[in-house]
Amino acid sequence: MNPSINIPVAFLMGQPPLELFKHGGPIMWPILVVSFLAITVVVERTLFLVRENAARDPGIAGKIYERVENHDVEGAVRIGQKSRDFIARILVYALTHKEHSLDDAFAQASSRELSRYQQGLAILDTCITAAPLLGLLGTVTGMMNTFGALGGGDIAASAGQITGGVGEALIATASGLVIAIVVLFPFNVLNTRIEQARRDIADAANALELVSQKSGVPSLTLTEAGAGV
């Protein structure tokens, strides 16, 4: 009996990934590329978040605000420059460019920092969308092979090709869905982290607005700062 007759059953029972890849048809190659691309982005973004979390210094912002409130902007900048915290970088940039416009400088620095968090998200979004569509395309090509064999007339002789086409359709569809589902979780985690960064920036804008009003530094409005991010 042709081994391909048992492909659908073997797929449901579980086969080594390499065997499934072989029987998934040519569409498995672009699915493989999408999966490697998604894995690469997820790993890189995970390392990025680990580095950023290690660099966070929640107390540094308060020290900067205290210096600004005491009319020591240069001291605030020096303190911020010693930190790797992204909020400190935003505050340092805003304070060092306050002569032109404090709110514009804050918005520009915020946008730059947020763009670092958003890198790779568009790729992951594309992978989540493309993977099931490629799987669907594999379903179509697999069923085309099946119906092509059915149209041959001798169904008994074409039994292997028929079930092979069904197996190709099942494997391609499942592969695309699995990739999309798996990538969806880190994608949502990254989006959550970006929203947290936005909230941290908004809090920093509020705090800087208060201390700038007390110290006489050109006022920063939260609405204008948020418009840039």
Whether the CB-CB separation of 133 and 109 falls below 8 Å is answered with no
For residue 5, what pLDDT band results from cuts at 50, 70 and 90?
very low
Residue-range definition of the domain harbouring residue 41 = 3-227
pLDDT at 1 over 50: no
Nearest residue to 94 (alpha-carbon basis) of 82, 111, 119: 111
pLDDT per residue as tens digits for the range 150-180: 555 555 545 555 565 677 788 888 889 999 9
- Say what the pLDDT of residue 152 is: 55
Would you call 156 helix, strand, or coil by DSSP? Answer: coil
- Say what the pLDDT of residue 214 is: 74
For residue 107, what pLDDT band results from cuts at 50, 70 and 90?
very high
More confident: 164 or 39? 39
Nearest residue to 162 (alpha-carbon basis) of 176, 179, 132, 142: 142
Q: What is the percent of the chain where pLDDT is above 90? A: 54
More confident: 18 or 9? 18
What is residue 5's DSSP assignment? G
How many separate domains does the chain show? 1
The total number of residues shown for the chain amounts to 229
pLDDT at 221 over 50: no
pLDDT at 112 over 50: yes
Q: What DSSP letter does each residue of 160-210 carry, written as one string? A: HHHHHHHHHHHHHHHHHHHHHHHHHHHHHHHHHHHHHHHHHHHHHHHHHHH
Q: Lowest mean pLDDT of 9-13, 73-77, 111-115, name the range.
A: 9-13
pLDDT per residue as tens digits for the range 116-146: 999 999 999 999 999 999 999 988 887 776 6
For residue 20, what pLDDT band results from cuts at 50, 70 and 90?
confident
- Say what the pLDDT of residue 162 is: 57
Long-range contacts of 94-99 (CB under 8 A, 24+ apart): 94/208, 94/220, 95/64, 95/68, 95/217, 98/73, 98/217, 98/218
